[in-house]
Amino acid sequence: MYDFDWSSIPGALPFLWQGMKISLAITAIAIAAGIAWGTALAVMRLSPAQSLSLFAAGYVSLFRSVPLVMVLLWFFLIVPQLLRDVLHLSHATDLRLASAMVAFALFEAAYYSEIMRAGIQSVPKGQRSAALALGMTPLQAMWFVILPQAFRNMVPLLLTQAIILFQDTSLVYVSALADFFGAAYKVGDRDGRLVELLLFAGAVYFVLCSVASAFVRVLRRRVAA
């Protein structure tokens, strides 16, 4: 029988909390930027301009056809170098966090754009006609009339996607970035208590995501009502 020893966890809590803050920061940025860019992609996808529509369709299918972990790796290899060259930063600047945020935002945008596309299509066609009949341009109709309703209809799905995203941030461990999962791994590795630390990390993810999912369920019922 395996002999559990949880004693290394209490002392590691401040370090784990630092990691959790990184996980939450990546999640927050990826949600905000991902929804903004994803909405823009959805609007392009539904636009009558064929070049925009094709670009958005290609973007979405590209990012949905490659594993997230590969996207992250590419970004760790390419983006820091690129940012250093563009912004003339020294090699000492740690850009792993920034490149993780960019990678997640671009990747998640592909998923958010599909949600927003469904959201836009869920708004009755007459709403667009009414907006146009009032003299709005197609973009004004989108911005003032269709998107607010699309967004509202899709809030539960957007939040569910955010929960998945929060779990996926653990993949940044491939860049040795100490997010919550990475921090837990490091502590476990250092103390030879990997099993305990990973079980603990798993329990934390489980509790946070379960609570968030329950919240989404309540919200969904209120949106439906």
Partner 1 sequence: MISVRDLYKSYGELEVLSGCSMEVRKGEVIVVCGPSGSGKSTLIKCVNGLEPFDRGEIVVDGVSVGARGTNLPKLRARVGMVFQHFELFPHMRVIDNLTIAQVKVLGRSGEEARRKALALLERVDLREHAEKHPGQLSGGQQQRVAIARSLALDPVCMLLDEPTSALDPEMINEVLDVMVALARDGMTMVVVTHEMGFARKVASRIVFMDHGRIVEEAPTTEFFASPRTERAQQFLSKVLHH
Q: Which residues contribute to the site for partner 1 (CB under 8 A)?
A: 124, 126-127, 129-137, 140, 144-145, 148-149, 152
Q: Which is nearer to partner 1, 67 or 124 (CB)?
A: 124
In the complex, minimum distance from the CB of residue 115 to partner 1, in angstroms, rounded to a whole number: 18
Q: Which is nearer to partner 1, 95 or 145 (CB)?
A: 145
In the complex, minimum distance from the CB of residue 43 to partner 1, in angstroms, rounded to a whole number: 18
Determine contact, residues 185/198, Cβ cutoff 8 Å: yes
Q: Which is nearer to partner 1, 10 or 48 (CB)?
A: 48
Q: Which is nearer to partner 1, 10 or 135 (CB)?
A: 135
Read off the tokens for 137. Answer: 């341009």
Residue of 13, 3, 9, 18 whose CA lies nearest to 197: 9
In the complex, minimum distance from the CB of residue 132 to partner 1, in angstroms, rounded to a whole number: 6
In the complex, minimum distance from the CB of residue 114 to partner 1, in angstroms, rounded to a whole number: 22
Cα separation, 15 vs 21, in Å, equals 10
Taking CA 116 as the corner, what is the angle to CA 111 and CA 117, rounded to the nearest 5 degrees?
A: 95
C-alpha to C-alpha distances, 22 to 12, 19, 25, 94, nearest whole angstrom: 16, 5, 5, 14
